[in-house]
Amino acid sequence: MWYDLGRLLRGMRGDGIVVDMKKQTSKDTSVLEEELRAGGMRVTRQRLAILLALADAEDHPSAEDLLARARRYDASVSLATVYRTLAVLEQRGTVLRNEFEGSGARFELANAPHHDHLIDLDTGDVVEFRSDKIERLQAEIATELGYELVHHRLQLYGRKRGGKARAARRRAVGARV
Ligand SMILES: [Zn+2]
């Protein structure tokens, strides 16, 4: 199971919004290895290092992030190998590519329950959430337009309330020093 149920329930808010869906990480790469082979790729030491970095990711790493993490397991991993491996896994539907404004492609495993993303414009932090209300509304809109909803991507961009004022204060304090 990908999500810790206790955490998930603690993250429950009114209107069926679930946040703080911390991913359970794992060092078990067997499923990912199978997917690579099914995609016609041999599981080399370098590719295994990339799979380990992917399986262990709690966040939404870029290809460069994954390269740095994979190199902890095998220093000979190249960025080209990261891109090729991600491309095959994405094609297999095992990895999701998220295009967040201002940060380029960010990756995550696709085996988590469906969720949407809120991106903090000041810090680049990515908050995962799921709202039953939004899910229902989107399906309704598609139906009204004569479609059956297949999937969707929703990204919210925001600033923490008071966050900008805090940052300005920090800058003012810094300027006096
Ligand atoms: Zn996500």
Condensed to tens digits (0 to 9), the pLDDT of residues 77-133 reads: 999 999 999 999 999 999 999 999 888 899 999 988 889 999 999 998 999 999 999
Tokens 């262990």 belong to 56
Interval between CA 163 and ligand 1 midpoint (Å): 23
Chain segment 16-44, per-residue pLDDT in tens: 788 866 666 778 899 999 999 999 999 99
Query: Can you list the domains of the chain with their CATH numbers?
Result: 1-112 (1.10.10.10), 114-177 (3.30.1490.190)
Single pTM value for the model: 0.76
Mean of the per-residue pLDDT values for the chain? 86
Interval between CA 55 and ligand 1 midpoint (Å): 14
Interval between CA 154 and ligand 1 midpoint (Å): 11
Interval between CA 140 and ligand 1 midpoint (Å): 24
Q: How many Cβ atoms sit within 10 Å of the Cβ of residue 150?
A: 6
Of 112 and 7, the one with more pLDDT: 112
Give percent above pLDDT 90 in the chain.
67
Interval between CA 126 and ligand 1 midpoint (Å): 8
